Amino acid sequence: MKETLQSPPPRDHLPGHIGIIMDGNGRWAKARGLPRKLGHRAGAKTFTKIVSYCRDIGIGTVTAYAFSTENWSRPREEVDSLMDLLCDYLSDTDQYKREDARLTFLGDRAPLRRDLQELMARAEEGSRDRTGIRVNLAINYGGRDEILHGVRALARAGADGLLVPEKITLGDLSDSLYTAGQRDPDLIIRPSGEQRLSNFLLWQSAYSELVFMHVLWPDFSPQHLNWALDQYAGRDRRFGGI
C-alpha cells in the first residue's frame, strides 16, 4: 500500500485537531544497528518537522503521545534519555517561538524530574499567547489515568457540596480532564503498523477517525501525513446519526 501523497486535501476538508501516537522509534534504531535513544532523537526531529507542516497547512491543534504512564517500565537508561530529550526540546525556547506554537502538557507531572517540570511550566507560560498552532505534549500520560484524575476531581467537588452527583454531566467530566476547553481530536494517526490506541485519549477519541500506517515514526514525512489526511477527508462522519 502506498502511504504517501504529495499534497494535502483542501483546507476545508482538514481536521481541526489531530492526535499522533509517535511509535516505532526503537524499531527504527534497531533496524540500523543503533541505540534506541538515537531512534527517539530521530523521532523528535520528525515531530518538529510535522508540527511545522501542520501549522503551515492550517491544522489548529496537534496532540502528540511523548511518554506514557506505562513507559516507566522501560530500561532506566532509555527513560533517562527520553527525559533528557524532552528537556533539550523545551530548553530551546526559540524552537516553539519559530513554530508560533502554544504548548500544553497532558499528564501527571508529579513523578517527573524537577528540571523537566520547571521547563514545562516555563514553556506553557512563555507560549501562552502564541496563535500559530496549539501543541499538546502527552508526558507521563495515560487515558485511564486521566479519567481517574477527572473522576477524583468531581468526587472532591461533590464532597465539598459544589456538585450534586445526579446532576454531573458529560461536559463536567470533559472539563475535569487535561484537555479541558479543547475540542476532541478529529483524527488519530498511529504509524509503525500497530493498530491500537494504547491508552491514548480514550475519552476524547470516542468519535475520532483512526488511521493506522506502516511507516516507522522517524521516517514519517509530510507526504505520509497528507495520505492520512486524505483518508480522513474521504470519511463520512455521522456521529451516530444517519
Mean pLDDT, residues 30-57: 96
Instruction: State the pLDDT at residue 1.
Output: 61
Strand 187-190's sheet: what is its strand order?
A: 101-106, 133-141, 61-68, 17-21, 187-190, 209-212
Percent of the chain past pLDDT 90, that is, above it, reads 90
Is residue 71 part of the annotated active site? The answer reads yes
Instruction: State the pLDDT at residue 2.
Output: 85
Q: Measure Cα distances from 72 to 5, 62, 119, 198 in Å.
A: 36, 24, 20, 14
pLDDT at 119 exceeding the cut of 80: yes
Instruction: State the pLDDT at residue 99.
Output: 82
Mean pLDDT, residues 222-230: 98
**Main-chain phi, psi angles of 116, to 5 degrees:** -70, -40
Which position among 12, 56, 71, 140 bears the catalytic label?
Answer: 71
pLDDT at 19 exceeding the cut of 90: yes
Percent of the chain past pLDDT 70, that is, above it, reads 99
Mean pLDDT, residues 193-212: 97
In angstroms, the CA 120 to CA 116 distance is 6
For 62, which DSSP code? E
Is residue 140 part of the annotated active site? The answer reads no
User: Topology of domain 15-142+185-233, per CATH?
Assistant: Undecaprenyl pyrophosphate synthetase (3.40.1180)
- Give the closest residue to 57 by CA, choosing from 240, 177, 233: 233
Mean pLDDT, residues 175-194: 97
Which position among 12, 23, 94, 136 bears the catalytic label?
Answer: 23
**pLDDT tens digits, residue range 130-168?**
999 999 999 999 999 999 999 999 999 999 999 999 999
**pLDDT tens digits, residue range 44-98?**
999 999 999 999 999 999 999 999 999 999 999 999 999 999 999 898 877 777 8
Instruction: State the pLDDT at residue 118.
Output: 96
User: In the numeric block, which cell numbers belong to residue 50?
Assistant: 510535522
